[in-house]
Structure 1
Amino acid sequence: MENCIAQSELSLDEIIMLARDNSLSAQQAENRKDNRLGNYMKFKSNFYPQLSLNGALPDFSRSIDPVTQPDGTQKFIARKYANSFLRLSLNQTIAATGGQIYLESRINRIDNMSDETNGGTTSYSGQPLSIGFNQPIFTYNWLKWSKKIEPIRLEEAKKSYYEEMEWVAWKATDLYFNLMIQQINYRIADKNLKNSQNIRDKKAKKQRLSESDQLQMELNIMKAQRDVASARLNADNAMLNLKTFIGLPESEDDFKLSIPESIPEFEINSGQAVKYAKRNRQRFLSFKRRKIEAERDVAKAKAESNLDLYLSASFGLTQQSDYLEGIYQDPQDQQRLKLGFKIPVADFGRRKANLQTAIANQKLVESSVEQDRIKFEQEIVVLVSQFPVLISKVKITKKANEIASKRFRIAKWQYVNQKISSTDYDMALQEKDMATREYVKALKGYWMAYYDLRMKTLYDFEANRDMTSL
């Protein structure tokens, strides 16, 4: 990068390289890609076993509580105790069913410090091992749908990163040519000023200036000085905009830009371009994701309007003892089975309305996706159709610029030698300046379209390869 900046003149490729390496937009694209990758890894963790250890060491309490007596009456008794526990659990989610199985081991300890005369008592209970599962039935399985959607989101993130980097190149190209145009305007204005001063001096030396010509020349010089000041300000602003975008400090030395005289020419078929765009673009993937999300919302609304059942069961070993080792000696069986349900009885049409809304939204999404798809393909076709015109325009304006420059050199000699009037000279000067600007504008139009096509297809037509495979 340092070698690139040290040059007095930078090319379009060098500016784009700097933008991709240093610009805030490129860094943000990188950060967004990392963030989306982190979200996907977080999602994937739902399908891996989760091992956790939790507990309380201790949970101390000192209070006066009502305690039920053997005869059934209650009596307020001062109590002081500590309740401690440790639980180690291993959980595994089942994506296909939305259920969960688990293994668990647990130890409980109670320190009763109320009877201080006997030093208090300690007791233990525990579940050395238990296995169980929780399974919802007829309910919305968010894991099943997430497993369909999240991989698409990940692919969108990857493709979006490449699109953003191509946007960086596109934006750098825009600012590059904006600066080039302003630098050309400044060079033209400065050269026009020097030409006006040179012609005045030559005519004055040959004593060929009438009073009217002298006044006209002075006005021309003043106008040229004004144009130089305005062009200089515009060039400084364009330079600052480009430096800011590509990540160079304002204190960095200014540089000139070289005109990219040669442009790549290649055959582009609109059908192939659309094919590449469908294969590579994040936007086309989003069409698929939006349809799946709409189906998911309908499935969720249907599940919420039906009978909700859930089944849980567990089997394990348990024991209690006055000492820790005792809970592992001759443990007893422990079983648990539960079938719960929730039946919607009367919600005044809420669930039905939610389902109808989800179905209507699904139809809206499908029509919107189809409309966006058509627009998506049309953008590619229109852009491809512009390329022959843009290439032709570059060639024509380049030739026109060469002719106008040659004509101006002849007109300048003729004006100095009083072969033509100042009006003819001014006309030749204006045509030369306009031809130069039109040539640079034609170059800008081509290169902007070039990087726009790369951004919209993520395909390198020069190298004939997908940019997502780099």
Structure 2
Amino acid sequence: MNKFYYYVALLAIAWGVNLSAQAQKRLTLDLSRTISLANDSSLESFRTQNMYLSGYWQYRTYRANRLPSLTLDMTPAQYNRDITKRYDSGQNLDVYRRQQSYYAYGGLSVRQNLDLTGGTFYLESNLAYMRNFGDNRTTQFTSVPIRIGYSQSLVGYNSFQWERKIEPLKYERVKKEFLYNVEKVSETATTYFFSLAMAQAEYKLARENLSSTDTLYRIGEQRHRIAAISQADLLTLKLDRVNAQNTLQNRASDLKRAMFSLASFLNLDKDTQIELELPSHSQSVEIPVDEAILWGRSNNPQLLELKQNILEAERSVDKTKKEARFNASVNASIGFNQVADNFGDVYHKPMQQDLIAVSVSVPLLDWGVRKGKYNMARNNLNVVKISSRQNEINIEEEVIMTVSDFNIQQQLIASAEEALDLSILAYNETKQRFIIGKADISSLTLSLNRQQQAQRNYISALQNYWLNYYKIRRLTLFDFATNLSLSDRFDFNGGHIIR
């Protein structure tokens, strides 16, 4: 009976372990798949897309403001009952009178802004109704069947013209900034990928090292019995095994942490078990520095932002300069209007209505306030130009250094790969020589350390290569491997991002 319960318990444990293994999702990723997941599912990619959509709708709003606008203004009902002060011409004095009235209004207006002059054309039509209650009951309708007009600031600041210069550049920067952030996400995904790759390699080395040190310790015990090695050498082998056990535990912790970081960044389940396939470096791609600088100047959103800052500073100078002078504006309109006691006559034989208004505002004494604002704006423009030039130099220098590092890194990968192969052969040879008693422990330990370091150097070289590759794509928004601009792979129409 006891055996029966024993087998039942074993089956339950085995079943539980199987369920636990199934609950953990396993996923094999290479670098390309990791970057694709990052740009599709990561929280950073969602933030990038919403930043673009915000800029897209801002540009749509600007374009909509350039089109005619139709507005309906209504006051369906306004009832008023109070005592108000009125002038009595017969008695030549003010008196308080009771007032009770009803009022309603409705109007349509069409407006069109004109970028060239900064003025506004308008077309209006309205109808109003008023009824007074009390001793003298009256009902009146008033209408403006049509009125056409134009308002214009004669020497003032033209905001429409500046928006026409700035807003398209701002939207172009938003599009390029989206591509820039996509490549930035690719860089971050590459960093997490190789952090996990390094952790997996370190864990694998630690596991192999533990197996190797355990084997060597058992061999050392046998050789110690025949006095082939000293007690100190045997203790050293035992110490190596203990250190290997501790190292394996630490590397397992590092592996778990790196795997969790990558899974969190990719917005995957935290229990996902990820296995990585190291990429090889692509075919040799020699990037000309001059070509990279040209693409960076035309595509880099940071340089577009510098141009936008200069335009905005120039707009501020123009505005403060014109506001420092006198202001003059004109408003002219022509149309028809009529008033009648009934609705049937309110549109009968309307009278012509003309309006021409010119207003002038001349600052006589402001103690230098407007002049100070103008000087501040002009000095700020100079600061923005100098800062922009310095930032442009810094960006070009970053492009030059990154391209140089990338071109050198291709050679370093080949050297690191060769060094890794040699270190593995050297370690295996030293290990065999130690087993047959022709190598000491110091030589074996040194050979193992060299193999581990060669493994780290190879992964680091791969990481630096791919980080520089995506950094160049980010700085230039150009893929030199395929000779295509990154903007050719995206469609921004309708505010939808299609990759």
TM-score range, shorter chain: over 0.9
- In 1, are the aligned partners of 2:217 and 2:241 still within 8 Å (CA)? no
Which of 123, 131, 140 is the aligned partner of 1:103? Answer: 123
Amino acid at match of 1:231: R
| 1:397-408 matched pairs, under 5 angstroms | 397-408=416-427
Question: Is 1:197 aligned to 2:214, yes or no?
Answer: yes
Deviation at 1:249, TM superposition (A): 2.2
Which of 16, 31, 37 is the aligned partner of 1:18? Answer: 37
Instruction: Indicate how the Cα distance of structure 1 residues 198 and 9 shifts in structure 2: closer, same or farther if over 3 A, else same.
Output: farther
- In structure 2, the partner of 1:82 is 102
| 1:71-150 matched pairs, under 5 angstroms | 71=90, 72-115=92-135, 120-150=137-167
Which string of whole-angstrom CA distances, capped at 9 and with x for unpartnered residues, describes residues 228-285 of structure 1? 111111111111111111221213x211211213333112111111111112211222
- In structure 2, the partner of 1:293 is 312
Uncovered stretches (5+) of structure 1, i.e. residues with no partner: none
Amino acid at match of 1:298: V
Question: Is 1:152 aligned to 2:175, yes or no?
Answer: no
SS in 2 for 1:299: helix
Higher mean C-alpha deviation, range 377-386 or range 210-219: 210-219
TM-score by length of 1: 0.94
Which string of whole-angstrom CA distances, capped at 9 and with x for unpartnered residues, describes residues 377-431 of structure 1? 2221222222232111111111011000111111222222332222211111111
Deviation at 1:331, TM superposition (A): 0.9
Deviation at 1:197, TM superposition (A): 1.5
- In 2, are the aligned partners of 1:280 and 1:466 still within 8 Å (CA)? no
SS in 2 for 1:361: helix
- In structure 1, the partner of 2:186 is 169
- In structure 1, the partner of 2:496 is none
- In 2, are the aligned partners of 1:280 and 1:468 still within 8 Å (CA)? no
Deviation at 1:210, TM superposition (A): 5.8
Alpha-carbon distance between aligned partners in 2 of 1:202 and 1:80, rounded to the nearest angstrom: 114
Alpha-carbon distance between aligned partners in 1 of 2:194 and 2:462, rounded to the nearest angstrom: 8
TM-score by length of 2: 0.89
Deviation at 1:321, TM superposition (A): 1.4
Higher mean C-alpha deviation, range 24-33 or range 262-271: 262-271
- In 1, are the aligned partners of 2:427 and 2:447 still within 8 Å (CA)? yes
Which of 15, 24, 47 is the aligned partner of 2:66? Answer: 47
- In structure 1, the partner of 2:497 is none
CA RMSD across the alignment: 1.8
Which string of whole-angstrom CA distances, capped at 9 and with x for unpartnered residues, describes residues 170-193 of structure 1? 111111111111111111111111
Give identity over the alignment, percent.
Answer: 27
Alpha-carbon distance between aligned partners in 2 of 1:145 and 1:66, rounded to the nearest angstrom: 49
- In 2, are the aligned partners of 1:186 and 1:232 still within 8 Å (CA)? yes
Deviation at 1:203, TM superposition (A): 4.1
Deviation at 1:153, TM superposition (A): 0.4
SS in 2 for 1:328: coil
Alpha-carbon distance between aligned partners in 2 of 1:257 and 1:418, rounded to the nearest angstrom: 39
- In structure 2, the partner of 1:249 is 269
Uncovered stretches (5+) of structure 2, i.e. residues with no partner: 1-23, 490-499
Alpha-carbon distance between aligned partners in 2 of 1:170 and 1:377, rounded to the nearest angstrom: 19
Q: Aligned pairs, how many?
A: 462
- In structure 2, the partner of 1:359 is 378
Amino acid at match of 1:443: L
SS in 1 for 2:116: coil
Higher mean C-alpha deviation, range 242-251 or range 208-217: 208-217
Alpha-carbon distance between aligned partners in 2 of 1:147 and 1:165, rounded to the nearest angstrom: 28
Which string of whole-angstrom CA distances, capped at 9 and with x for unpartnered residues, describes residues 261-319 of structure 1? 33331121111111111122112222332222222122111101111001011111111
Which string of whole-angstrom CA distances, capped at 9 and with x for unpartnered residues, describes residues 309-363 of structure 1? 0101111111111222221111111111111011011111111112222222222
Which string of whole-angstrom CA distances, capped at 9 and with x for unpartnered residues, describes residues 199-223 of structure 1? 2234446655765444333322221
SS in 2 for 1:140: coil
